[in-house]
Structure formats: structure tokens, C-alpha cells
Amino acid sequence: MSRRISIFGATGSIGQNTIDLIARDRAAYRVVALTGGGNIAQLARDARSLSAEIAVTADESRLDDLRAALAGSGVEAAAGRAALVEAASRPADWIMSAIVGAAGLEPGLRALQQGATLALANKESMVCAGPLMLRTARDRGGQILPVDSEHSAVFQALIGEDIAAVERVIITASGGAFRDWPLKDLARATPEQAATHPNWSMGQRITIDSASMFNKALELIETREFFGIAPAKIETVVHPESMIHALVGFNDGALMAHVGPPDMRHAIGFALHYPTRKALPVERLDLVKLGQLTFRDPCETRWPALRLAREVMQAGGLMGSVFNAAKERALDAFIDHRISFLGMAEVVEEVLVSLSSQAGHNAAGITLDMVAEADHLARIEADAVMQRKTW
């Protein structure tokens, strides 16, 4: 019997890589929902070729365009936030969560409420609402499989292991676009320069977050939330080749590393076929050709986001949501050339200080409303900080 699958954020980088895998074995899957943003032509093309049940654009004003693009195809068209959430409630066995930002949280949560397997690329869900996500999966008989490459690597290294024997988890970072820039030049770095990644091909926002290491900061928090590892046991190291995705260190000194070329179809394919392994169309590493792998210190002067992540993990409660929302606003402003590259961390730090009252809530009892409220407050505060400061 074919598996019912849905892809949230189908038109993005992760979404397209997921479709690439699905399209290679069409008979194995029945596509329920595909969602996208403003890229209507792409969404309609994929929905047609995969014979999806429904295509949803997040952009309410584009419903007529989507309808027109799907005319005669038999694919239902819908638009807007409510339609996205409704699509996530449609019965499916496996659902890819690959919307970018906090906007991905609610559809993912809905998917878990119906007891589906959620393949989670949207790291913001774990950062903002980790305990809620895990609790929902447990209560409804679903499961969450990490798709972030580092977390897929940790997940794989932990199979068959006792979590109590884990001494440390090392999340690797490429260092992004500016890892070799002199520190003094970072102040004038542009969004265009930040949006080019040395190793990975990804969406614009995560690529800029890689240059600032806000992406790594989110991933450290994601590690804490997903695996329940104490913050003191979570480390990061700069690894410019992006071949080792993460390492898990055990109490006997052994380090288990996941090694593979930077291709997200590794992690997506692992989550798609779990608990079995199936052949994937990814490059096989030639170690001799590769020659060497190198590692560097993750300098917190260059990347203050790493220090902020540590503070957020210590604070707990709703600070993950505050951190992510402030970062999203600061990133919007940087992309619009309203603040500088280094200004992003300054804004986020100020918001963390002003909203420190959001720390320490009983994380186990958090609700979607509480997360949404913290997110809302942080966005308002970030805007206020950016108004006050002169850049």
C-alpha cells in the first residue's frame, strides 16, 4: 500500500529535495498536501506532477492565481494560514515540516496531533516549543524524526545506545560565508555577501543565519530540546569541509561521527525510510580524494549568537521562542539593509534582557498560546530596540 505523505514548505530548498526523493519512487507514495508561499508556478507544477490532493499557498491574496494554475488538474487549491493548518490535519502517514521560521510550528503541531510521523526540518518548532512538540507526539502516538543534518547525525549515532552514557554532543558548523573574514570587516558585511554559503545550497534565511551562526545557535537549542541533553554537554566546533555533521561522545571516550557529503537528501531520506535504510542517490565519499578534515575554535567574538544560545538554554521556559522571534525580526531588518550584520546579535541580546521574565516557566506545561504570546512580545520589543538605536 502506498504511504500518504504531505510536504509543508514544498517549494523551498528542503521541500524540493524531498520531492526529488519522492519522485524517484512515485508508486510508493500518495501525496496528500503540498504547501508553498508566493512561488505559485512551482507549487502548481509539483502538485500536478505528483497528483496531490490539495495545494495550499500561505499567501491569501494568491488564491485565484493558484486556482488558475491548477485548472483542470483535479488538485484542490486553498490559501492562507487556516488552510495550511487544515491541510496539516488531513490524514497522512509522513509529513515533512519544512516551512521556514516560527510559521512552521502550528502546521507541524497539527500533524503530530493526528498521530503522524513528522519529519522535522523546521528547527524553530523545537526551539520555540520543544516540550509541547514532544508531548504531543507521545500523547497522540506519533513520532518526530529530525531532518536538520546535525540532529539526524546525532539521532543515528544514538541508535542502540544508552542516553545515560552520553558525555557530550558536538554539533559541527561550517562557519558560513564570513568564517575567514577579518573581524573588522564584519561590521560592513551585506545581506548579499551573507547569503552565499561555502558548502550547502539552502534557502536565503538559513544561509544568512549560517554566516551569523544564529543557525548554529538554534541548533544547539534544538539539540537540548530534542535529545534532552544538558546544555553543558553540548558543544560546537567549526568544521569548514561540512563532511562530519555531528559527533556523539560516550563515557568510554568513544566518539561516533556521522560523515557524508553536504547533501540534505541524506537526512531527508533517512527520515523517509526510517527505521529501515534504503539506497539514496547521494555522492559516496572518496576519503583519499578528500585528504583531510579540519576543525577550528568557534570564536564567540566573531559569533556572539553562540553565547546567546547558551544563555537561552540556561534560562529555559519561553526564552527559545523569544530568541527565535527576535532573531527573525533582526534578520528581516538586515535583509532590508536597515541594520548591520553585527546589529542582529545586538538586537537579539537586548530583547533577551528586556523579556527575561519569559524565562523559567514550567516548560512541561507550555501551550501554543503561550509560545505565540512570547513570540509576539519579542517581535514588538525587537522593533522597539531597532527604533531606539541608530545604526
The residue ranges that bind ligand NAD (CB under 6 A) are 9-15, 36-37, 39, 58, 98-100, 103, 121-124, 148, 200, 202-203, 205-206, 264
**Smallest separation, CB 250 to ligand NAD (Å):** 25
Question: Binders of Mg ion among 123-152, rule CB under 5 A?
Answer: 148-150
Q: Among ligand NAD, Mg ion, none, what binds residue 249 when CB lies within 5 to 8 Å by partner kind?
A: none
Question: Beta partners for 94?
Answer: 5, 117
Q: Among ligand NAD, Mg ion, none, what binds residue 384 when CB lies within 5 to 8 Å by partner kind?
A: none
Count of residues engaged in binding Mg ion, rule: CB under 5 A: 3
Judged by CB, which is closer to Mg ion: 150, or 225? 150
Q: Is 77 exposed, middle or buried (0-12, 13-18, 19+ CB in 10 A)?
A: buried
Contact 122, 130 (CB under 8 A): no
Judged by CB, which is closer to Mg ion: 149, or 324? 149
d(CA 108, CA 49): 24
278-312 burial string, b = 16+ CB within 10 Å, else e?
A: eebeeeeeeeeeeeeeeeeebeeebbbbbebbbbb
Q: Among ligand NAD, Mg ion, none, what binds residue 119 when CB lies within 5 to 8 Å by partner kind?
A: none
The neighbour count for residue 117, using CB atoms within 10 Å, is 22
**Known binding-site positions for 1-deoxy-D-xylulose 5-phosphate:** 123, 149-150, 174, 197, 210, 215-216, 219
**Smallest separation, CB 100 to ligand NAD (Å):** 4
Residue nearest Mg ion, CB atom distance: 148
**Smallest separation, CB 14 to ligand NAD (Å):** 4
**Smallest separation, CB 360 to ligand NAD (Å):** 26
Q: Among Mg ion, ligand NAD, none, what binds residue 222 when CB lies within 5 to 8 Å by partner kind?
A: none
d(CA 319, CA 389): 23
What is the identity of the amino acid at 212? S
What is the DSSP pairing of strand 244-250 with strand 255-259?
Answer: antiparallel
Runs of H (alpha helix) within 294-389: 304-315, 319-335, 343-354, 368-388
d(CA 187, CA 237): 23
Judged by CB, which is closer to Mg ion: 17, or 149? 149
Judged by CB, which is closer to ligand NAD: 110, or 205? 205
Residue nearest ligand NAD, CB atom distance: 12
Judged by CB, which is closer to Mg ion: 11, or 149? 149
What radius of gyration, in Å, describes the C-alpha atoms of the chain?
Answer: 20
Judged by CB, which is closer to ligand NAD: 13, or 136? 13
Closest listed residue to residue 90, CA positions, set 106, 113, 57: 113
**Smallest separation, CB 388 to ligand NAD (Å):** 27
Question: For 338, what's the count of Cα atoms within 13 Å in the CB-facing half-sphere?
Answer: 15
**Smallest separation, CB 9 to ligand NAD (Å):** 3
Q: Among ligand NAD, Mg ion, none, what binds residue 92 when CB lies within 5 to 8 Å by partner kind?
A: none
**Known binding-site positions for NADPH:** 11-14, 37, 39, 122, 124, 203
Cell 508508486, residue located:
27
**Smallest separation, CB 288 to ligand NAD (Å):** 27
Cα angle: 131, vertex 133, 134; to 5 degrees: 65
Q: Is the dihedral of CA 210, 214, 216, 219 positive or negative?
A: negative
Question: Binders of Mg ion among 218-247, rule CB under 5 A?
Answer: none
Judged by CB, which is closer to Mg ion: 117, or 236? 236
Residue numbers at the binding site for Mg ion (CB under 5 A): 148-150
